Amino acid sequence: MTPEQILARRAWRQMALRDEEYHRLVEMLGRHPNWTELGMFAVLWSEHCAYKHSRLHLGQLPTEAEWVLVGPGENAGVLDVGEEMAVAFRIESHNHPIAVEPYQGAATGVGGIIRDVLAMGARPIALLDSLRFGPPEEPRCRYTFAGVVSGIAGYGNCVGVPTVGGELYFEEPYRHNPLCNVMCIGILPRSRLRRARAAGIGNSVILVGSRTGRDGIHGATFASEELDERSEERRPAVQVGDPFTEKLLIEACLELVERELVVGIQDMGAAGITSSCAETAARAGTGMRIDLDRVPLREEGMTPYEIMLSESQERMLIIAPRGKEEAVLEVCRRWGLEGAVIGEVTGDGHLKVFWRGELVADVPVKALAAGAPVYDAPASPPSDLEQRWRVPSLPEPTDCGEVLKLLLRSPSLAHKSWVWEQYDHMVQVNTVVLPGADAAVLRLKGTRKGIAASCDGNGRYTYLDPYRGAVLAVAEACRNVSCVGARPLGITNCLNFGNPEKPDVMWSFREVVRGMADACRALGVPVTGGNVSFYNESPAGPVYPTPVVGAVGLLERIEERVPSVFPGPGYRIALLGSTRAWLQGSEYLKVMYQLVAGRPPEVDLRLERAVQQVCRAAARRGLLASAHDCAEGGLAVTLAESCFSPEPVGASVKLPPELGNAAGLFGEGPSRVVVSFAPQAESRLRALCVEHGVGLLLLGWTVAEARLQIRCEDRVLVDEDVGGLMAEWQNALPSLMG
């Protein structure tokens, strides 16, 4: 046994490998690994890369539809949107990095997800972000929040990809482990679609982009451990981004694809050269020979271990046709990028790594990329689950107008302009519906079509009931896309959980996947890929189980899009869909009573599908003046937000007796949309509702005086100046952030 093998035998636990995993590795190799090989297996067998605890359950998710060109297993999902065009999209997490380095953690999360979409041959055209932090009254939480937003803005603005939407929540369980999930959308001609496969024995392996340094080494294993008091020491595991190089990389890669110089392409993300080489070879059933002496380095004295595991940013692996190497390198030079032929595709199924003429690693690619064990971890509900569902008897509010103001000031509901004003959301001039609407809308240039996108998820719901919480997340993401008039075509998910080795965490995960699968099947929406992020946990406990759903939909004619705010006076206001609402798990309970309790609403998926069908059909027929999803904060908050037009609009609303209480005003529930329409459209809209078995409850009118008045019988429940409400809503986050 060599000294390196002896050292490796002593170190596998430090690399987050279990004893049985190390023994499995030895059995697969027929020997003990050396130090470099052990590091390669440690990162690719980490939870972050191998999905050891989740893979068994993710197979429940529906992934196929006639319009799905690429489903799970590639860098991003790809959907056919007609006219020989396709849309690529995916969501990823960068949770642990932002906990120790907010700016760079967020910035490199943006860079990584952009490259995932680029790897499909798509031009990235939009970003959305889903963010979770602890209470903003806490200085550390404000620091992290500000740093993350600045990192997203700094990278996205410089690279020239607009951030067009997202969501933001503040909850106690995210205090020590904040969440940063970033979604990217790209467009491509179908003919330009590429896969991450190292096909063609003898083809060249070319590294394109930045030089390789020591940053990010073991970032994947860092993301596969709980955060603790030593996490600050792991700053070297957080990469450093360069958006200007990324912009050049985007243009160079798209030109290489356009010129048919790419057989396969892969982002160098987690595990760097190791993962990109092993995964592309494994997908193609080939092998690879790599010479590390050819890898451009930016630091002296780097070892093979460091070169193979570096997660330096802005790098792509290109599999190029043999004989076309100089053409590839010429494109790189023209875009001011480094390019180096570092190896070739082989047919022996092994990844062989040479350094200074010596073979320093020789491992089967299938063992490396797909040989990690799959665990069926024990799962059981939390012992206090039924206690979580209990809600004490509470009095009715005496001043509903003041309650409405408190809810509008709640950081999770307040206006997010403090965030998106830091983002360039108009670069590339595709953005038609700006941040703040139910869904962003982007034009597909050269066509009349548009793409709608939304990010949604409520961790509080999922904490209280993971199955229902997951169904609600899928339903709301698709409903938001439907509210602007688009048909949901697919979703991507980012599943953020604590330690999967704890039975209650694994039970929550399994219930979330089950709920997501049921909702997607009922709504006819496939899952094209996503990300599982485990070990979001600190000594203070785990985060809420937080499934984030990114939905993408298609508008056949972009001029049919529906705004989310009232256009002016003289329009009818109605509640489309369900009239039921629950206070359990609501923002009302949290804001008014500091209670996270109750069982969240159960979704009637048949009704949910029908409500969304009515929204889309009404949009196509030009029947709707506005449509706004009725979600957190309930009907009163939705009505107020609908009044917040650039020129504030008033609303006079009369509720039926069953809605004239706290639940009717501030309760939350699915399958509900507040719509406005011209009086002459009422009969046609009502006929459409009857056709689909959907209710339409007339509430009142939009009025010229900018006041929101909500009555029930002879009682005035709310009578507030819209400008005053809007000021509460707009100023909440800026005042918290100073």
* pLDDT tens digit sequence for 5-44: 555 555 655 676 888 999 999 999 999 999 999 999 999 9
Q: Which helix (H) or strand (E) holds 478?
A: helix 466-483
Question: Around 569, how many Cα atoms within 13 Å sit in the side-chain half-sphere?
Answer: 8
How sure is the predictor about 433, in pLDDT bands with cuts at 50, 70 and 90?
A: confident
Could you give all domains of the chain from N- to C-terminal order, each with its CATH number? 562-738 (3.90.650.10)
Using pLDDT thresholds of 50, 70 and 90, give the confidence band for residue 224: very low
Q: Tell me, what's the pLDDT at 430?
A: 84
**Neighbour-count burial of 398, counting CB atoms closer than 10 A to its CB (0-12 exposed, 13-18 middle, 19+ buried):** exposed
Q: pLDDT band for position 271 (50/70/90)?
A: confident
Confidence of residue 455 (pLDDT cuts 50, 70, 90): very high
Q: How far is CA 713 from CA 653, 654, 659, in A?
A: 11, 7, 11
Round to whole Å and give the CA distance between 32 and 34.
7
pLDDT reported for residue 18 = 87
At 220, is the pLDDT very low, low, confident or very high (cuts 50, 70, 90)?
very low
Residue range 583-596, pLDDT digits in tens: 999 999 999 999 99
316 token code pair: 């792509």
Structure confidence at residue 4 (pLDDT): 58
Q: Which residue has the tokens 């909500």?
A: 710
Q: What percent of the chain has pLDDT over 70?
A: 95
Q: Whole-model pTM? A: 0.94
Residue 585 DSSP code: T
Alpha-carbon distance 31 to 491, whole Å?
43
> Token pair for residue 91?
């969501």
What rounded mean pLDDT belongs to the chain? 93
Q: Determine which one of 48, 218, 350, 425 is catalytic.
A: 48
Q: Is 415 considered catalytic here?
A: no
User: Which one is predicted more confidently, 508 or 5?
Assistant: 508
Based on the residue annotation, tell me whether 48 is a catalytic residue of this protein: yes
pLDDT tens figures, 403-427: 999 999 999 999 999 998 999 887 8
Distance CA 664, CA 656 (A): 9
Give how far Cα 655 sits from Cα of 400, 635, 644, 681, 715, Å.
Answer: 14, 10, 21, 21, 10
Confidence at 238, pLDDT banded by 50, 70, 90 = low
pLDDT band at 461 (very low <50, low <70, confident <90, very high): very high
Determine which helix (DSSP H) or strand (DSSP E) holds 386, and give its type and residue range: helix 385-388
- Under the banding of pLDDT at 50, 70 and 90, the label for residue 318 is very high
DSSP labels, 557-580:
SGGG---SS--SSS-EEEEEE---
Q: Which has the higher per-residue pLDDT, 238 or 28?
A: 28
pLDDT of residue 218 exceeding 70, the answer is no
| Alpha carbons within 13 A on the beta-carbon side of 186 | 29
* Cα–Cα distance measured from residue 105 to residue 331, given in angstroms and rounded to the nearest whole number: 30
Q: Which of 57, 94, 350, 628 is catalytic?
A: 94
Q: What is the DSSP letter of 127?
A: E
Residue 222 has pLDDT above 70, yes or no: no
